Structure formats: structure tokens, C-alpha cells
Structure 1
Amino acid sequence: MFRLAVFFCVLILGMENGVLPGAAEIEYWKWIGVVLCLASALMSKGKGQQADPLSLLVLTGCALADLFLLFTRQWETGIAGFCLVQLCLSFSLISREQTLQLCLILGGLFFIAGLLLKLPEMICLVMFYAIQTSFNLIAALRMLTHTFLLKSAADKLGKNPSELQPPSADIRFRFWTAMGTVLLALCDLNVVLFQLGGPLAAAGGWIWPFYLPALLCFAHAAR
């Protein structure tokens, strides 16, 4: 199923860029691709264990959020779905309890402050989402940097990285989750640039090329 999801995502990117026909119904194909990533995570099993529940929540949140963003005008609900995604990523990546608490408190305070100031719900959700994304991106970059430094040290010593730090399912899970988090942040950056319009609207063509690989990373983390 995971290979099918990869193949389907490649087809969608081809349609998105006009290489393949089917652009007229691209929203439906996109959502099917998201659902396939979720299905691949649901069906994945490793050493007798079920798929990781946090990865499943991330992919489920993405599927529900895209359902509202692609086919309805209930964009607040879609953004709320992605806020759930970022919360799940926080619990996956941020290991220090105090840092996670700070992340949740700041995001919640900004959200409540926005409501008290009677700002639109969309603005409040975006503020919460931006704070969660910032914390998660920092944690993801630290994780990837640690992995890179570990590999560099192993190369200098002529050893396998596993000899310096034994591989575990948790480390692999956090690595692929970190990769997906960085790609999702790049997707969000292009969404912001696209919304600004003008010459920056061309960034809209890079939203899904970052988003779909992010979903595949989350699906692989579940494995």
C-alpha cells in the first residue's frame, strides 16, 4: 500500500504541473492521494505491532483538513484540522516536558487573546498554528542535525552510525516525523507566499510538491 501511495503521489504531482492529463479534477486526485497515505499507515505493521497512533492522528488530521479546504469554503475547520496535526507533531518531536508545555501555553494564550480582541477565528487559528509550527520546526531541525552529526562522526571514525547509537524504532520514527515536519513547514511557507499574491503567487505551484512528500514521511514513520 505504501508503494501505491508513492506511485499515486507521483501521478498527482505530474497532473499538478501539467505533465499528465487530469488537471480538471485535480482536487479529487489530491484528496485520494492523502487518503492513500493514511491507508498505507493503517495497513502497516512492523514486528507484530500496529501502526504508530500519533502518525495515524497526523494523517487523519491532514485528510479531514484537506476535505474541508479542497471541497468546501469552511476554511476555519480546515485550519483547525491542521492545528490538530501540529499538536500531534509536538508530542512526537518535543521530548522535554517543559518545552512542550511552553509551546502549548503560548499557542493557547495567543488564541485566547485573539478571541478576546474579537479577531476573526481564522486569524486566531493561524496564530496558534504558526506558534506550534515554529516549535515543531525547531525540534525537527535539531533532530535532523543530530542525525547528520552522528553520521559524520561515524564516517570519521570509520564506524557504522549504529555503533555509536544503536538504532531503535523510536529513533527512526522521530527521524521520519522530523523530515515530514520540515517538508510541511516548507509547504506552509509556500501557502503564505501564494496568499500574498502578485509575483509571489507562483509559489502556489510548490505547495503540493512539498506537502505530498511530507505525508509519505509521516506514513513511513508509522511503519
Structure 2
Amino acid sequence: MAHRFRTLFPCVSAALYATFLLLDLTGAADSTPVKFAAILLCFFSSLLCLQTADGRLTAAALAGAVCADWFLLLPGHSYPVGVLLFCVVQAAYALRLCHMQGKQFRPALPLRLLPLLLFALPLPKLAALSLFYFANLTANVREALRAAAHSGAARLFAVGLLLLMCCDLCVGAVQLGLLTGFTGIGMWLFYLPSQVCIVLSAEPKGKNL
């Protein structure tokens, strides 16, 4: 049953992906419910991997992503809470990378923690929080690329984090008013594929990466 669901998962995700991209491109209707349904699908699919520590960390991260998207997507946006939750997601991915690599894991603490000093500066708190998040994402991408040589699942996880970085670069570009014709669509062009790759990178059969 779990294997069948994981086989269907990319197909259903692709259908939702095509639907919300079409809605975004044509403006025919609000795509938000379809996007949130796709993220929920990713989370529920990840629950099939709870037999392993790696799967549990992945599911915890995707639960955080669902909560973050709730605050970012739905009416009454609370961007600081959403970004803070995405920081928690990156912490879960750092733990996953530590589990995958063991003693080879390099936490890169200066890169991860130095952005905390931004909170002491007269910057908007959302900007400081976003930079802290992106620094931790960058550190995780670096470690994921190092781990990618170990297995196909690790490579898929690295691809997922790279796609997530592309999504966040589009988010930043939108906030700066850059290339909004593409970046407004590009956010979700990269985001759902990143989550699908991360789900599929989790080992569901009791094996470690």
C-alpha cells in the first residue's frame, strides 16, 4: 500500500502542479487552495516513511513547512511567523544531514549563527529573520551537495534543497521588485518540485541513507 501511494504521489503532485501554474498564468481563479493541497499531499506522503529516523526527520520538516505555508499563503498573512517556522524546517534538515553524514557532517556554525547579529542592528525584523533563514538554507545546501555522492536518495535531497534555494531567490527578487513577471511564478515553479524531491528522498523501508 505504501509503495503504491509513493508511486501515485508524483503523478498527483504533477497534476496539482500543472493546475496551479495554469491558474497563475491565466488568472482564471485563485490558485492558493491548490497550492496548499499540494503541500499537504507532500506532508501526508512523508508519513509513510516514519519507520526510520531519516523518515521521521523528513516528516517533521514537512510538518513545519505546512504550518509555515499556512501563515504565508492564507488570508491574514503573518510573514514573520511563516519565516520563523521555515527556520525550524532548516534546523530539521540540518539534523537530517547530521544523521546522514555522521562524523563527516560540518555544521558551519559561523555561517548559521552570525546572521543572528543582524537582530541587534536597526533592520526590519522580517529582513533579519529572512537572512538568518537563508544562511541556514545555504549551509544545508552545502552539506547536501557533499552528501550527494553517498546515495541516490541523498542526491535527490540535494536537488530538493537546490530547488528550494531557487524558490527563495525568486521570493527575494519579488520583494525587491526584480523580474516580477517571472519570479512571481518562479516561486512555486521551484517550490513544489523541491518538496516532492525531499519527500521521495526519504527512505520508507527501514534503511538508512
Shorter-chain TM-score bucket reads: 0.7 to 0.9
Which consecutive segments of 4 or more residues in structure 1 shift more than 4 A? 19-23, 48-51
- Equivalent in the alignment of 1:108: 113
Q: CA deviation at 1:181?
A: 1.0
Partner in structure 2 of residue 178 of structure 1: 158
What displacement does 1:18 show?
2.1
5+ residue gaps in structure 1? 148-170
CA–CA separation in structure 1 for the residues paired with 2:179 and 2:58: 36
Give deviations 1:5-37, integer Å, cap 9, x for gaps.
323322232223327999523111111111111
Larger radius of gyration: 1
> Shift of the alpha carbon at 1:118?
4.2
Separation in 2, partners of 1:109, 1:49: 33
Whether the 8 Å contact between 2:173 and 2:179 is mirrored in structure 1 is: no
Distance in 2, matches of 1:19 and 1:117, equals 41
Paired residues of 2:54 and 2:96 also in contact (CA < 8 A): no
Residue 110 of structure 1: CA displacement?
2.1
Amino acid at match of 2:37: I
Q: In structure 2, what is the Cα distance between the partners aligned to 1:78 and 1:59?
A: 13
Aligned equivalent of 2:72, options 50, 69, 73? 69
Query: Could you list the per-position Cα deviations for residues 138-173 of structure 1 after superposition, in whole angstroms to 9, with x for gaps in the alignment?
Result: 2222333x36xxxxxxxxxxxxxxxxxxxxxxx454
SS of structure 2 residue aligned to 1:37? helix
1:99 and 2:102 equivalent?
no
Give the alignment's TM-score, normalised by structure 1.
0.74
TM-score (ref. length: structure 2) = 0.79
Name the CA shift for 1:110/1:11 in 2 (closer, same or farther; >3 Å): same
2:34 alignment partner in structure 1 = 29
C-alpha distance in 2, partners of 1:19/1:77?
Answer: 27
Structure-1 separation of matches of 2:194 and 2:16: 14
Q: Which amino acid aligns with 1:99?
A: R
Structure-to-structure mapping, 1:1-223, within 5 angstroms: 1-18=5-22, 24-44=29-49, 52-71=55-74, 72-94=76-98, 95=101, 96=103, 99-100=106-107, 102-103=108-109, 105-111=110-116, 113-144=117-148, 146=149, 171-222=151-202, 223=204
- Structure 2: give runs of 5+ residues left out of the alignment: 205-209
Query: For 1:98 and 1:54, how far apart are their aligned partners in 2?
Result: 16
- Higher mean C-alpha displacement, 4-13 vs 57-66: 4-13
Structure 1 residue 188 displacement after superposition: 1.1
Over the aligned positions, Cα root-mean-square deviation in angstroms equals 2.8
Q: Structure 1's 81 and 19: CA in aligned 2 closer, same or farther, altered over 3 A?
A: closer
**Residues 63 and 4 of structure 1: CA distance in aligned 2, closer, same or farther (over 3 Å):** farther
Amino acid aligned to 1:135: A
Aligned length: 194
**3-state DSSP class of the match of 2:179?**
helix
Measured after TM superposition, the shift of residue 192 of structure 1 is 1.7
